[in-house]
Chains A and B, each alone.
Chain A
């Protein structure tokens, strides 16, 4: 019995933490945030070099062959650093190909994605907040896609997009395919831009592996775990930033952290976040090893952690006072990061509705 991390997992987290701190310190993050592309080829290259682009790809296809728990631990660090880049969509796309693709399809696509040479993303949502696979309507007939997908992360950057189609199936469309348009949505989180994908007969290839029928639900659950881990990392970073600010900001001749009104608010923020760490650990572990609990615990992690993270982000702005309200203050970067985590793949309210039908009650 050990509900904790192994030496290897701690080392992985430490490596990613060191990379984020070294390669994307606050000043660089600010430059990237203001530029608004949500991408830096150097950062992506660095992440790929430490094996993150192929984290979930089997070793036979050139990946690291790790599990969802490891991805979640990486996401925690990326959230803590609000790291701009396409890893979320990319990791989910590799997972979709791994789960739904035939052996031939996996061999064809995965190695270049694992090395980070090519970048992939996923197109899941449709108009009307339709994130769930059973609600997808985009048609994939005779090798062509017709329909539109929304909120596709890093769509303009991706060489390859895994698109959710009617019947809960996945199809792969390549960058520059005919009759394919990518329209930037002007997303709120500048570390992860989103776009609408319009397919008007775009040539695509349906994933036809043995697991194609169940893959979409598994990818949905994995996305919920990844987002909850990202939100946890971001929220804890906000707690630490706000703590440091309250220790340094002086009013009435004392650091504001010395006033109980402030101290108690900080204690509450920390207490909203810290005890949720086990929720995403458990959900990731369940995804890897306890299939009967995977869907339920992923929905709990996503709905709970991202909701708490948003509350904490709002409190962080308030505790930073007027400064917190400005564009100049970095709190807004994480504030918007958790807005993305909260909303993408379905809101907490949506998933609480699912918890009610998935749970034992």
Chain B
């Protein structure tokens, strides 16, 4: 066991810190619009080999060898500096890894570079009103007419649909085939008359996702990833990337810090709540969960660095369920500590950050928002099925035919 990164990695970290001291930009560059500044610094990160590290250079990445330990250091240092590094939203986070695995050369060259550069935004079209956990029952159809797909139906819970240039998603292209074999993975331009995006308002009052309606929408025939009917298999790969994003244990450490901050600020019997033995007991219990998550993450990282992922399959399967459940508990305790301020409305995107109630409203918001990750990307009960069936070797559910 060795928890130091060693001389070679510490030297790389020092170089990286030196590089990151270039953010924020100075001089004339500091006067550029924000998006331009971010683009510029991200480009420098790619050239230096820190951003989009393992994506081949011909697709706009840095083209370096995979190195999980260096990835971790880069992630830590970019987080610390607040500099723009890897974009992790739908395009770079979910589609690009899938394209790299299943795309044709032409597709990779066409879609990956602008996606990484932030010039092409994506949304994910998986769920439908009638196809949530049972995703393979999806009904939105794509019919090949000449050199175009013609798409009809509806997607839902689509984040980023209003801003996206393209949707990647699953569509029923082979109505005669069996449930799973009739699905293809298509890339669809969003800016066209056949697509109608309607925002959905969340219980928190924010609007982060949408319904997307297709009425004879069009996509070029070549915009199919893999073969027709292979969409289900390909989408499994994307889901793994999504769960990795959602189950990221570093999010939890941040939530735990917020809890501590709230406990220091709110009062119990005229003293900071954090001094109350009852409160301390509950925070200490949560700290056990947070530390369990962090050390599990270290185990997985260490095994990955040695190419021994097979030895940590079980904890990897558990990370999403485990971390989202713990974050729900952290959010619930923070909310409880608010006392009667819990009667206030949640924070919303258009609230001023200078509003003195912003922290309180943020806690109210997270009391609700923390349920989202437990639902998105394979709800908790689906995770329990996966852990039970693939992790513990239990027989598959009794399912109606």
A residues touching B (Cβ–Cβ < 8 Å)? 1-6, 69, 239, 243, 246-247, 254-255, 257-260, 263-264, 266-268, 270-271, 274-279, 281-282, 285, 290, 297, 300, 303-304, 307, 349, 352-353, 355-356, 359, 361
Q: How far is the CB of B337 from chain A (nearest CB, A)?
A: 13
Q: Provide the bound-state CA to CA distance between A4 and B298, in Å.
A: 9
Chain B residues whose C-beta falls within 8 Å of the C-beta of A243 in the assembled complex: 392-394
Q: Which 9 A-B pairs have the closest CB atoms?
A: A278-B295, A304-B288, A356-B280, A352-B284, A267-B384, A263-B388, A267-B387, A3-B298, A355-B284
The answer, yes or no, to whether B19 is at the interface (CB within 8 Å) is no
What 20 new A-B contacts, CB under 8 Å, besides A254-B398, A260-B385, A275-B322? A1-B9, A2-B302, A4-B299, A4-B308, A69-B1, A258-B395, A264-B384, A267-B383, A274-B314, A275-B295, A275-B315, A277-B295, A278-B294, A281-B295, A304-B285, A307-B288, A353-B284, A355-B287, A356-B283, A359-B284
Count of CB-CB pairs between chains A and B under 8 Å: 162
Q: How far is the CB of A217 from chain B (nearest CB, A)?
A: 19
Contact A2 B305 (CB under 8 A): yes
Most chain A CB within a 10 A radius of its CB, from B264, B284, B303, B398: B284
* Contact mask for chain B residues 310-335; partner A; CB cutoff 8 A; 1 contact, 0 none: 00001100110110010000000000
Question: In the complex where A247-B395, A271-B321, A275-B296 touch, is A4 in contact with B387 (Cβ < 8 A)?
Answer: no
Chain A residues whose C-beta falls within 8 Å of the C-beta of B384 in the assembled complex: 260, 263-264, 267-268
Contact A263 B289 (CB under 8 A): no
Chain A residues whose C-beta falls within 8 Å of the C-beta of B285 in the assembled complex: 303-304, 307, 352
Q: Which residue of A lies closest to B380 (CB)?
A: A264
Q: Provide the bound-state CA to CA distance between A120 and B306, in Å.
A: 41
Contact B288 A4 (CB under 8 A): no
- Mostly helix, strand, loop or mixed at chain B's interface? helix
Q: Provide the bound-state CA to CA distance between A333 and B246, in Å.
A: 39
Contact A353 B296 (CB under 8 A): no
Contact A279 B397 (CB under 8 A): no
Chain B residues whose C-beta falls within 8 Å of the C-beta of A303 in the assembled complex: 284-285, 288
Q: Provide the bound-state CA to CA distance between A4 and B383, in Å.
A: 26
Q: How far is the CB of B35 from chain A (nearest CB, A)?
A: 36
When the two chains form the complex, which single residue of A247, A274, A278, A352 contacts B281, counting CB atoms closer than 8 Å?
A: A352
Question: In the complex where A260-B397, A303-B284, A361-B283 touch, is A1 in contact with B4 (Cβ < 8 A)?
Answer: yes
Q: How far is the CB of A86 from chain B (nearest CB, A)?
A: 28
When the two chains form the complex, which single residue of B301, B387, B392 contacts A3, counting CB atoms closer than 8 Å?
A: B301
Chain B residues whose C-beta falls within 8 Å of the C-beta of A260 in the assembled complex: 381, 384-385, 397
The answer, yes or no, to whether B245 is at the interface (CB within 8 Å) is no
Q: Provide the bound-state CA to CA distance between A282 and B292, in Å.
A: 10
When the two chains form the complex, which single residue of B9, B288, B319, B396 contacts A279, counting CB atoms closer than 8 Å?
A: B288
Most chain B CB within a 10 A radius of its CB, from A1, A257, A270, A355: A1
Q: How far is the CB of B16 from chain A (nearest CB, A)?
A: 16
The answer, yes or no, to whether B119 is at the interface (CB within 8 Å) is no
Chain A residues whose C-beta falls within 8 Å of the C-beta of B277 in the assembled complex: 353, 356
Q: How far is the CB of B379 from chain A (nearest CB, A)?
A: 12
Q: Provide the bound-state CA to CA distance between A3 and B319, in Å.
A: 17
The answer, yes or no, to whether B2 is at the interface (CB within 8 Å) is yes
Which residues of B from 353 to 401 have beta carbons under 8 Å from A? 381, 383-385, 387-389, 391-398
Q: Provide the bound-state CA to CA distance between A257 and B301, in Å.
A: 32
Most chain B CB within a 10 A radius of its CB, from A259, A267, A279: A267
Q: How far is the CB of B188 from chain A (nearest CB, A)?
A: 35
Q: How far is the CB of A354 from chain B (nearest CB, A)?
A: 8
Chain B residues whose C-beta falls within 8 Å of the C-beta of A307 in the assembled complex: 285, 288
When the two chains form the complex, which single residue of A263, A278, A353, A355 contacts B298, counting CB atoms closer than 8 Å?
A: A278
Contact A1 B5 (CB under 8 A): yes
